[in-house]
Amino acid sequence: MTASNTYTGASTVNGGATLNLADGAGLAGAVAVLSGGSLGGGNASIGGNLGNAGTVSVAAGKTLTVGGSFSSSGALSVTVASMGSYGRIDATGAASLGGSLAVDAAAAVGLTDGSLASVIHAGGGVNGSFASVTDNSLLFDFAASYGANDVNLIVTAADTGGGGGGDGGDGGSGGGDTVLNSVTSLGNTPAAGAARVLDAVIAADPTSPLALLFVPLTTQQEVSQAASQSLPLLTGGSSTVAQNVMGGINRVVQTRIGSRGGLSSGDEFLGDKHLWLKPFGSWADQDDRHAVTGYKADTYGFALGVDGEVSSALRLGAAFAYAKSDVDGNSSAAPQSAEVDVYQLVGYGSYSLDDRTEVDFQAGIGRNRNEGRRKITFAARVAESDFDSETAHIGVGIGRSYAIGGRTSLTPSIRADYTWIKDQSYTEKGAGALNLHIDSRSTEALVVGIDAKLEHQVSEQSSLVGNLGVGYDTINERASVTAAFAGAPGAAFVTSGIKPEPWLVRGGLGAVFKTGGGVEISGRYDAEYRESFINQTASVKARWMF
């Protein structure tokens, strides 16, 4: 019904029938809702008494006005959207209560107080109480509080022991669950630390801004996803992304360091000084691993360097490298992304022990600029972060070249590379109580490896090269980060990210062409594989003598 009706007789909603009163609609007489019948109310009015033996529903932000008394032995349902927007019944006469009260909080957001006042107001007084009060929030109960003329709803933490609705009809049915139980039941182990903190907050102050964000959640799946959305950027794995980008830059510089025997095809030093430029792109794909969400990272950058001979055996050089990496988490339930700008200064060189054996070395320092976004869809918020990282790398290798025929050589080598990254502490913005303060942390890796490179001289101007090797990360630490919610700053928790496989396989193919003007142009494809992870890189290099 969409308008006021002047009919003064009694109206009956029979079993199986539904009557919806839209905003502004009204009935002048009494209304009886029989068992199996349903009455839905907006901002509407009933001139006489309202008797409910079926179901009466009032939408959020709406008031059903009753000119007479209100009696309910059936089901009353009120929808809660926020602290100031919920369904109400306002009766001039008395309210005689029984049956059940159901609270629909599935769409509730932004609750900041513990009481919903005057869900039922009766000028003639309130008699009786509901036999049961139920709700569809997994983590909170809505309990009825009875006054002389009003029934209020208060918010309480759900019974963690799985208990029911409480004595005397005053308590809600309870979720009988916790955030920790939800994430554990669904195997969401990375969220366990955050879940414990959230449970403590909910138990200590269920009406706090942080606790009440979880009121709309009605299933374990929703609670588990909300806990995942509350975790630090990339589940603490942003440092792993930075390590992979640094490793790619280090390999770019490494291919520049070459002996006359050909540790790196096409990279031998011809003359005293050379200038080189190497643009590159890489595409990393980390699958989900041990319940931790993976990511995809697209990286583009360049390295620019200059080097020359110090003596017949010693060559030294310096390079600057820049790369920008766009990272997207794999999870659609907890969407996260990051942008990492990498700046590196590298010193490198090589020393020939004899005509076939060469030691190469490099050391670098740098700074990363990180920007992150965590979409917290269950609370309709986005947490944004902006922080810097300091980086360092040192590597050394030795290789010996063996001739295979007149135009082909094989160069086995061993090397070790150490990388260090320190993320600064930071505090997110944009997500209110769900903003995270992240502690400073350091991440290390020490990879030792064995490689072999095969080079074939096609002509005086061109050559082909291929390499294959294995490495082992002797540190292989799992990325972890310590964080605290802005809504609970004194309760820190640890989130552990992906623990990578220590063994890796790396390889590549390349071609080198020397122009008549003395410019050398080379192209390469390289790949690194670990279990559940692959990083592919394509690069082109130009080198000039000066």
pLDDT for 446 equals 98
User: Is 471 within the bounds of a domain?
Assistant: yes
pLDDT for 270 equals 42
User: Is 257 within the bounds of a domain?
Assistant: yes
pLDDT for 307 equals 93
With CA atoms as reference, report the closest residue to 466 among 510, 497, 436, 505: 510
User: Is 199 within the bounds of a domain?
Assistant: no
Rg value, the chain, Cα? 34
- Side chain identity, residue 155: V
Using alpha carbons only, give the angle 188, 208, 172 rounded to the nearest 5 degrees. Answer: 75
Query: Which domain covers residue 20, as residue numbers?
Result: 4-179
- Residue 58 contacts residue 66 (beta carbons within 8 Å): no
User: Is 214 within the bounds of a domain?
Assistant: no
Same domain, 256 and 157: no
Pairing of strands 63-66, 503-514: unpaired
Same domain, 320 and 396: yes
CA atoms within 13 A on the CB side of 214: 39
Same domain, 168 and 262: no
Same domain, 290 and 141: no
Helix, strand or coil, per DSSP, at residue 243: helix
Q: In order along the chain (546 residues), what is the average pLDDT of each group of 10 residues? A: 65 95 92 97 94 98 97 97 92 98 86 84 98 89 94 80 40 61 95 96 88 86 96 91 89 70 39 87 95 96 94 94 97 96 97 95 97 97 98 97 94 97 98 98 97 95 96 94 97 95 97 91 96 96 90
Q: Point out the domain boundary residue: 111, 144, 179.
A: 179
Same domain, 404 and 529: yes
User: Is 249 within the bounds of a domain?
Assistant: yes
Same domain, 264 and 387: yes
**Domain count within the chain:** 2
User: Is 309 within the bounds of a domain?
Assistant: yes
Same domain, 418 and 505: yes
Q: Write the secondary structure of 389-404 as one string of H (helix), E (strand) and C (coil).
A: EEEEEEEEEEEECEEE
User: Is 510 within the bounds of a domain?
Assistant: yes
Same domain, 253 and 173: no
Q: Point out the domain boundary residue: 179, 207, 224.
A: 179
Same domain, 254 and 399: yes
Same domain, 172 and 244: no
pLDDT for 373 equals 98
Partners of 78 in the beta sheet? Answer: 58, 103
Same domain, 259 and 161: no
Same domain, 316 and 409: yes
User: Is 202 within the bounds of a domain?
Assistant: no
Domain at 379, CATH number: 2.40.128.130
pLDDT for 170 equals 47
pLDDT for 167 equals 37
Largest CA distance in the chain: 112
